[in-house]
Structure 1
Amino acid sequence: MSEQFRKATFAGGCFWCMVKPFDEEDGIEEVISGYTGGTKPNPTYKEVCSETTGHREAVQITYDPEKVDYEDLVDLFWQQIDPTDAGGQFHDRGHSYTTAIYYHDDEQKEIAERSKLKLDESGKFHKPVVTDILPAKAFYLAEDYHQDYHKKNPMHYKMYRKGSGREDYIKGTWG
């Protein structure tokens, strides 16, 4: 990885639905699906779904800070999730589907915390914003069939996004 690129890591429920919005942004070099935040090295999808590893499904973004600001990535993240749901995201339930911003340095931590506070105080939601802001931990690549799922399986991806309730929530909340 070039010195100019930085990492951003977000857990927003099902990682299939978190890749495409970031993948379409200028300044994004790569978006990968994986697992982070837990205790088991190199977990499998099945292990993460069993809720025994402590990991969340997440995306790790490699971006060029000369072309896109971390603050813009955080704003885009908020617009993909229900930040008030402590039990998962949409029809995906359990810790592995809960939301978090994993910061890679003090600057990212400050931006994430400020953004969360601003969102919480905005009056947009009737419940508190519960998304965790945590230090980045080891990130484990998800299995190949999870990578770029929206490109490999576009019809299933669209059906899943709609059927899970995510699509309607985003449209209703963010327009």
Structure 2
Amino acid sequence: MAEKRELATFAGGCFWCMVKQQPGIIKVESGYTGGRTEKPTYEEVCSNTTGHREAVQITFNPDVFPYEKLLELYWQQIDPTDNGGQFADRGESYRTAIFYHHDEQRRLAEESKKKLEESGIFKDQIATDILEAGPFYPAEEHHQDYHKKHPERYKRYRVGSGREGFLHEHWGHKA
């Protein structure tokens, strides 16, 4: 029998810093979504003229790694209260969003957002958008698996951007 597969798409600022491979996560692809331009380039997206956000599209087996677990992991990788970007990365292309692929994902995303708002972890309002998924355009090859290809540069970026400290402060060992 074929392995069960679903898609999940998340924008969380720099796509280098999102979900990594784990059991049940079949593929993680960096790219662009939510905008007006077909097949945008990194430079076009960073110009904040295309409407796209840097995002990851995850192919996963929901029987092994449920969507709810992806949502939990997602919240622990971002500052969900920042509507202007993420950490040192500013602008529309770095804003957070959960892009749902069907009504059940939308329901679960809204439920998880409400639960996070009610948790009191963040004093400011949760600004992450929940939007219907549209076309996803893979980023250029040098952006794929960046954390594996350039581990030292990736680590310096996570620390230097302020992401690492923020996540540790709010999530501790989970970050």
TM-score interval (norm. to shorter): over 0.9
Alignment of 1:127-166 (within 5 A): 127-166=124-163
Instruction: Indicate yes or no: 2:104 matched with 1:107.
Output: yes
After TM superposition, give the deviation of residue 117 of structure 1 in Å.
Answer: 0.5
Question: 1-side partners of 2:167 and 2:23: how far apart?
Answer: 21
Residue matched to 1:7:
7
- Structure 2 CA distance, aligned partners of 1:130 and 1:29? 29
Distance between the aligned counterparts of 2:102 and 2:42, measured in 1? 28
Question: 1:23 and 1:76 mapped to 2: Cα distance?
Answer: 10
Superposed displacement of residue 63, structure 1: 0.2
Percent same amino acid at aligned positions? 63
Q: Which residue of 1 aligns with 2:115?
A: 118
**Alignment check: 8 A CA contact 2:12 2:86 kept:** yes
> In the alignment, is the contact (CA less than 8 A) between 2:27 and 2:59 conserved in 1?
yes
1:3 CA displacement: 6.7
Counterpart check, 1:42 vs 2:39? yes
2:127 alignment partner, SS class:
coil
Q: 3-state SS of the aligned residue for 1:102?
A: strand
Which segments of 5 or more consecutive residues in structure 2 lack a partner in the other structure?
none
- Cα separation, 1, equivalents of 2:65 and 2:148: 23
CA–CA distance in 2 between the matches of 1:166 and 1:105? 30
Q: Distance in 1 between matches of 2:24 and 2:115?
A: 25
Q: Which runs of 4+ in 1 moved over 4 A?
A: none
Residues paired across the two proteins, number: 171
Mapped partners of 1:24, 1:38: distance in 2:
26
Match for residue 81 of structure 1?
78
Q: How far has the Cα of 1:54 moved from its partner?
A: 0.1
1:24 aligns with 2:21: yes
Deviation at 1:150, TM superposition (A): 0.3
TM-score (structure 2 length as normaliser):
0.96
Secondary structure of the 2:10 match is strand
